[in-house]
Amino acid sequence: MTHTEGYARAGVLSTPHGDVETPAFMPVGTQGAVKGVTHRDLESAGADILLSNTYHLYLRPGDDLIARRGGLHRFIGWSKPILTDSGGYQVFSLAERRTIAEEGARFRSHLDGSEHMLTPEKAADIQAQLGSDISMVFDECLALPADTNAVRTSMERTLRWACRARDRFLAIAAGRVPEVVVSNPGQAQFGIVQGGTHLDLREESARRTVEIGFEAYAIGGLSVGEPPATMYDIVEHTTPFLPADRPRYLMGVGTPEDILEAVARGVDMFDCVLPTRNARNGQLFTRRGRINIKNTQYSEDDGPVDPDCGCYTCRTFSRAYLRHLYAVNEINAATLNTLHNLHFYLDTLRGIRESLKFGRFETFRNEFLQH
Ligand SMILES: [Zn+2]
C-alpha cells in the first residue's frame, strides 16, 4: 500500500501482465470481450485489468482450445492483467439445472443441456489453462436469505473446497499435474470469504481462509439483494481480518456509491456488470445522478450526457442523438452508452486514487455522495 486514509488505501497490485493501481474497477468481459466495445476502447478509458468468466469460456470455446492458442491473453488480444472467476456463481445460478455435493457441482449447460462437473480442482485446472493473472477459488454461493445453520454448513464446505483448490493450485504450479497446460506460470490465486450476513461467521470464514494461505482475498456472497447498509456493515467487519499488505476484492459490487463506501472500509478491487448492462438498457451514470436516455424529455436535448465527462461520447454527441440511436435499436447506442458508463466508473476510481494520494479521500467521498 502506498497511501492510506482511515481504512481506505491506495496501492499497487503486481501481476505477470503489469501493475494495477488500486482501488481498481474491473470491467466484465464475460465471453472474452466487454459487450459493445473494443479492447482499444477499454484501454483508452483507463481499464488496467479485465474480468472474464470461467463458466462461459469453459463451455465455449473451451479452455483446451484457448490453451492451444497460448492462453487467454493471446487468444483475445489483451496484454494487460486478467482476473477469472471460478465459474461457481454461474453454476449456482443455474438453479434446477445443477446438484451440489461434497465433490462439487454437477450441472447441465445452459447452451445444449450437456452434463458437466465443476469441482474445486477442475475450476483451478480450467483457470490455469486459461492463464489468467488471478484465479479465484471455487466457492459455494448460497441463496439468501438462509438460516444460520445453512450458512454455517455452506461456509464450512467453502473452506474445505478452498483447501482442495489451494492444494491443486500448488500442485499445478509445481508441475505435478501434467494433463493441465500452464498458460501463465505467474498466476496468483485468491481465497473467498463467505458467511452470509452473519458477522461472526464472516470473521471465522476470514480467519480460516487466511490460515489456508492465498496470494490475496475476496469477499463473496454480497450484493445479492441485502440492503446496502448490511453490505457496508459486513465489509467493515471483514476487512480487519484480512492481511493489510494484500489486495481485498469485493466481488460483484456495485453502484458507484457502493464502491466508494467499500473503499472507505478498506476494499481495493471491484467488478460489476452495472455500467455495461445498464448502458445497453439506456441507463447512464452521471455526476448528477442516473438518466434514462430513452425518456422523451431528451428527444431535443442538445447537451452532452454529462457536461463534466471527458469521454468520446460526451465530447461528441448530444442526448437527442443518443436517444434516437437507442429508439431505433442502433448498435452504436450500446457502444456509445457503454463507453460513457465505463469511463464514468473508471474516472470515479481514478478520482478515488488521486484523492487518497493527496489525503483528500474524505472530501472526495462527501462531495461525490452529495450529488
Ligand atoms: Zn461521458
Give the distance (Å) from ligand 1 centre to CA of residue 285.
Answer: 9
Question: How far, in Å, is the centroid of ligand 1 from the Cα of 293?
Answer: 13
Catalytic residue among 258, 268, 271, 347: 271
Q: How far is the CA of 8 from the centre of ligand 1 (A)?
A: 27
Neighbouring-strand partners of residue 105: 100, 118
Nearest C-alpha neighbor of 362 from the set 245, 236, 263: 263
- 134 contacts: CB under 8 Å, gap ≥ 6: 15, 81, 82, 83, 84, 187, 188, 189, 190, 215, 216
170 Cβ contact partners less than 8 Å away, ≥ 6 residues apart: none
DSSP 356-371: HHTT-HHHHHHHHHH-
In angstroms, what is the span from residue 233 Cα to ligand 1's centroid? Answer: 32
CA 312–ligand 1 middle distance (angstroms): 7
CB 157 within 8 A of CB 102: yes
- Does 271 qualify as catalytic in the annotation? yes
CA distances from 238 to 217, 261, 282, 291 (A): 11, 14, 35, 34
Contact residues for 117 (Cβ-Cβ < 8 A; gap 6+): 103, 104, 105, 106, 107
Q: Is 48 marked active-site?
A: no
Residues in the chain: 371
Q: Write the CA distances from 157 to 128, 193, 235, 280, 302, integer angstroms.
A: 23, 12, 21, 37, 56
Exactly one of 48, 85, 125, 139 is catalytic; name it.
85
Beta-bridge mates of residue 289: 286, 287
pLDDT the model gives residue 371: 76
pLDDT at 144: 77
Q: 3-state class of 355 per DSSP?
A: helix
For 237: left if phi > 0, alpha if psi spans -120 to 50, otherwise beta; the answer is: alpha
SS3 142: coil
The Å distance, Cα 44 to ligand 1 centre, comes to 13
From first to last of the 371 residues of the chain, give the pLDDT tens digit: 889 999 999 999 999 999 999 999 999 999 999 999 999 999 999 999 999 999 999 999 999 999 999 999 999 999 999 999 999 899 988 878 899 999 999 999 999 999 999 999 999 999 999 999 999 999 998 887 889 999 999 999 999 999 999 999 999 999 999 999 999 999 999 999 999 999 999 999 999 999 999 999 999 999 988 999 999 999 999 999 999 999 999 999 999 999 999 999 999 999 999 999 999 999 999 999 999 999 999 999 999 999 999 999 999 999 999 999 999 999 999 999 999 999 999 999 999 999 999 999 999 999 999 87
DSSP code, position 139: -
* Single-letter residue type at 194: Q
pLDDT at 346: 98
Question: Please, how many CA atoms are within 13 Å of residue 243, restricted to the half-sphere of its CB?
Answer: 15
Q: Classify residue 296 by burial, with Cβ atoms within 10 Å: 0-12, 13-18, 19+.
A: exposed
Rounded distance between C-alpha atoms, residue 237 and residue 72, angstroms = 36
| Contacts of range 224-231, beta carbons closer than 8 Å, 24 or more positions apart | 224/143, 224/144, 224/252, 225/144, 226/144, 226/197, 228/257, 228/258, 228/261, 230/197, 231/258
How does strand 18-22 pair with strand 289-292?
unpaired
